[in-house]
Amino acid sequence: MKTVLVLGANGQLGKCFQDLSAGHEDLDWLFMHSTEVDITSGYDVQQLFNSKRIDYCINCAAYTNVEKAESEMEKAFRINAEAAKNLAEICKKSNTVLFHFSTDYVFNGAAQMPYLESDITGPLNVYGESKLKGEESIRENANCYFIFRTSWLYSQFGHNFFKTILEKAGRGEELNITTAQQGTPTNANHLASIVLKLIKERSTRFGTYHFSNKGETTWYGFAEEILKILGNLDKFKLNRDNSYKTIAERPAYSVLNTAKVESTFNYSISSWEDAVKELYDKHFAGINLHSASDIK
């Protein structure tokens, strides 16, 4: 039986893997969160690998606060770059296949067509810089790895845009959502499913891939689609905000071209609209929007 280690298991993506594992007991799943293993400590991670044979390591641990990263640069790089380097080295020594997740924010947003894996990078903020450095460290120090760049993750778990819109809509709050960014919402459960597919198939088509749902929209468009699913759009207070201010600069356009992952692994990716509807129908249909406890 192959052993699959999931680091950062209490985060949004880590919880998606926990949810997914329930139907796949043919794998020996090992879920670890930050209080159990400090991924920034090479010693801690090495001790974990010494204690058990790890066939696959899925690294969901990351510093993801784009705004705070601007003032916490050292912390962002320690988690997103230095820890990735240590993990790559340990996985190489242990002959472990490493799965790592990166971001559309490694690009500068100047493109007018979806980004290919081979396109020149140029992050605009500390978060993007730290994630790019993590990618580079893995490519330099690991042999057997999959790096998935993804975008605008949401799910039934944790804090994310999808759930925030549901909560605010349920309270009748006015929603001022930016139209300044063009990208693609990605159902984190779908990202977890492609990883599981590669593990099941014991794929060795290692490399860097783009994975998001299909299509593109703005954050305003994302919010609008969520509210449409809830019913009469006119009853919600949704406004376009063209002057949304942030500390960290963000790419205006960060749509990812997913042709490589689809053709390489014969994997059909859902449209972002269908993925949003799927998540709502599976986890949120029939809930009381006025009760925050039903959503969280």
Write the CB contacts of 218 (distance below 8 Å, at least 6 apart in sequence): 177, 178, 179, 180, 181, 182, 183
Does 105 participate in catalysis according to the annotation? no
| DSSP state, residue 214 | B
Q: Which residues pair with 112 in a beta bridge?
A: none
Q: Report whether 276 contacts 187 (CB < 8 A).
A: yes
Which stretch of DSSP H or E encloses residue 175?
A: strand 175-178
| R_g of the chain, CA atoms, integer Å | 19
Distance in angstroms (rounded) separating the CA atoms of residues 96 and 200: 15
As a whole number of angstroms, the distance between CA 149 and CA 133 comes to 13
Q: Which of 63, 127, 209, 280 is catalytic?
A: 127
Of 59, 201, 215, whose CA–CA distance to 142 is shortest? 59
Q: Measured between alpha carbons, how far is 188 from 16 in angstroms, rounded to an integer?
A: 7
Q: How many residues does the chain have?
A: 296
Per-residue burial over 58-68, b if 16 or more Cβ lie within 10 Å, else e, is bbbbbbbebeb
Query: CA-to-CA distance for 83 and 90, rounded, in angstroms?
Result: 11
**What whole-number distance in Å separates Cα of residue 169 and Cα of residue 161?**
12
Which stretches within 39-118 are classed as H helix?
42-51, 66-69, 73-77, 83-94
Distance CA 6, CA 209 (A): 19
User: Which are the catalytic amino acids?
Assistant: 127
